[in-house]
Amino acid sequence: MKIIMLGAPGAGKGTQAQMIADKYGIPHVSTGDIFRENVKNGTELGMEAKKYMDQGALVPDELTVRILLDRVAQDDCKNGYVLDGFPRTIPQAEVLDKAIKELGDKIDYAIDVEVPDENIIRRMSGRRACLSCGSTFHIEHVPPKKEGICDRCGKELILRDDDKEETVKNRLDVYHKQTQPLIDYYTGQNILKTVDGTADMMDVFTAITEILGE
């Protein structure tokens, strides 16, 4: 099963993508995580991506597409994957479609996790991330067992630069201009499904599993 998660930054699509990955046994592929991993390791790709990420801007399509196609060509993606944070522009979606079509395959679902901007801004300030393993938590909604510490790997949790208020507003702006057109794009392909992202995390997940099936 190949799934794309859509929704504004902070809509909760990363959390849902991880839950889908766990339930259906497919990898959770997040371009944001791949970039952050590269920033952490000080790679050339990381240094290039950081320039854009710190401003809440998108990393150029050419670079992003290359890392995504490399990732989904790996063995563990053979039986499917859930994409989180990709595509974010129409050209990215077109490249992905073309690559998948060449393999005689298709995307099964694009799931839009819908949340109004006001809720997003409130949510983001509570978000905490683990730079070590990529897990995300929320001080109110998904608190870690021990404050400030990652449940998964025990490292310190932080408020990411790109979750800070000014950057969040910028990212929402970018989302509306560049990513929202994907809603029409996947509606046109008849694979768009919308879930109410303001609902409780488990209710959102139930709505998603009703779409995907057992």
152 is catalytic: no
Among 86, 109, 137, 186, binds ligand AMP (CB under 6 A): 86
Catalytic residue selected from 13, 36, 71, 128: 13
88 is catalytic: yes
Amino acid in position 56: G
Among 18, 52, 90, 209, binds ligand AMP (CB under 6 A): 52
36 is catalytic: no
If we measure between CA atoms, which residue out of 178, 175, 176, 211 comes closest to residue 192? 211
Question: CB of 129: closest distance to ligand AMP in angstroms?
Answer: 9
List the interface residues with ligand AMP, window 163-202 (CB under 6 A).
171
DSSP bridge pairs for 123: none
Q: Which is nearer to ligand AMP, 136 or 210 (CB)?
A: 136
Catalytic residue selected from 2, 36, 71, 88: 88
13 is catalytic: yes
Cβ atoms of residues 156 and 133 within 8 Å: no
Q: Please tell me whether residue 24 binds ligand AMP under the rule CB under 6 A.
A: no
Question: What is the rounded distance in angstroms from the CA atom of residue 55 to the CA atom of residue 119?
Answer: 21
Catalytic residue selected from 50, 160, 169, 193: 160
Residue 142 CB neighbour total at 10 angstroms: 16
Q: Which is nearer to ligand AMP, 145 or 161 (CB)?
A: 161
Among 53, 93, 168, 182, binds ligand AMP (CB under 6 A): 53
Among 3, 8, 11, 58, binds ligand AMP (CB under 6 A): 58
Question: CB of 107: closest distance to ligand AMP in angstroms?
Answer: 15
- Give the CA distances from residue 92 to residues 72, 98, 107, 114, in Å, rounded to whole numbers and listed in that order: 14, 10, 14, 21
Question: CB of 10: closest distance to ligand AMP in angstroms?
Answer: 8
Among 2, 28, 88, 123, binds ligand AMP (CB under 6 A): 88
Question: What is the rounded distance in angstroms from the CA atom of residue 104 to the CA atom of residue 111?
Answer: 22
Cβ atoms of residues 72 and 81 within 8 Å: yes
Q: Please tell me whether residue 90 binds ligand AMP under the rule CB under 6 A.
A: no
Token output for 54: 């710190």
Intra-chain end-to-end CA distance of the chain, in Å: 12
Q: What ranges make up the beta strands (E) of 45-149?
A: 81-84, 109-114, 127-130, 136-138
Catalytic residues: 13, 88, 127, 160, 171
